[in-house]
């Protein structure tokens, strides 16, 4: 087993929308003292900025130009992390259902994936980071030392998303939210570039009937075990 990187290991957490990746990544990063790189938020930022600019989701030239002039950064704000696009805080705006569906289409475009891939690899190269998304362990960091594939039933993921939207005051029904989760799954699994799939060496975790604390414990133990192995390598 090889030694870990300069700042620790790279932890990749992949899985479908609504599986709990974002919440668990934040908690795991806090426990380990690692940096959380929210790759999904990066794609959402591109989707938001493309919508504002009137760039169609299949306009590869326009999207490539947009990405060349886009700077995405994460700023820690207490226990949370704000997402900035060219210096503007877009943390709330990128979480709308409309941007979520647009993100699935935008993230399938090759110029967008290539541009953000460069950003993500630069952010995580030295380790000590946790990245979550849909292709972290298969495309972005196939050599990540620890990989998880987090899933849950579409019904459970839809229920969680519905409660999240309701808490924010957004109008939605449970049935509509579940339908959108299923639609998002089809888009993510069927896209040409970097479709959603589990890495062969990832640890699968079905969170449908597990609490956040239970999943977090499994993840933390796996990472700490890998760190011990690395120290002995």
18 is in an annotated binding site: yes
Q: Please give the order of strands across the beta sheet that includes 72-77.
A: 72-77, 80-85, 88-89
Nearest C-alpha neighbor of 106 from the set 153, 63, 54, 167: 63
CA distance 174 to 187: 20
19 is in an annotated binding site: yes
33 is in an annotated binding site: no
Alpha-carbon torsion 178, 184, 185, 187, what sign? Answer: positive
3-state helix, strand, coil in the chain (%, to 5): 50, 15, 30
2 is in an annotated binding site: no
Alpha helices per DSSP H over 125-211: 154-168, 174-190
104 is in an annotated binding site: no
17 is in an annotated binding site: yes
21 is in an annotated binding site: yes
124 is in an annotated binding site: no
Report the run of H or E that residue 27 belongs to, with start and end: helix 21-32
Contact 82, 89 (CB under 8 A): yes
CA 44 to chain centroid, in Å, comes to 10
142 is in an annotated binding site: no
Binding residues for ATP, by number, are 15-23
Binding residues, by number, are 15-23
């Amino acid at each position: 087993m090889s030694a870990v990187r300069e700042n620790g290991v790279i932890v990749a957490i992949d899985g479908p929308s609504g599986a709990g990746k974002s919440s668990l990544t934040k908690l795991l990063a806090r426990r380990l003292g690692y940096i959380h790189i929210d790759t999904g938020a990066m794609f959402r930022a591109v989707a938001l900025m493309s919508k504002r600019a009137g760039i169609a989701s299949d306009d590869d030239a326009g999207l490539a130009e947009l990405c060349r002039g886009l700077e995405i950064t994460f700023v820690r704000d207490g226990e949370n992390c704000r997402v900035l696009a060219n210096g503007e805080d877009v943390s709330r705006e990128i979480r709308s259902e409309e941007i979520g569906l647009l993100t699935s289409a935008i993230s399938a475009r090759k110029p967008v994936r290539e541009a953000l891939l460069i950003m993500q690899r630069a952010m995580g190269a030295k380790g000590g980071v946790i990245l979550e998304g849909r292709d972290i362990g298969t495309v972005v960091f196939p050599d990540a030392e620890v990989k998880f594939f987090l899933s849950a039933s579409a019904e459970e993921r839809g229920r969680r998303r519905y409660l999240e939207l309701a808490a924010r005051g957004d109008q939605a029904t449970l049935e509509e939210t579940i339908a959108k989760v299923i639609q998002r799954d089809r888009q993510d699994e069927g896209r040409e570039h970097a479709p959603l799939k589990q890495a062969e060496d990832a640890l699968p975790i079905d969170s449908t009937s597990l609490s956040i604390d239970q999943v977090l414990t499994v993840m933390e133990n796996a990472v700490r075990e890998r760190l011990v192995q690395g120290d002995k390598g």
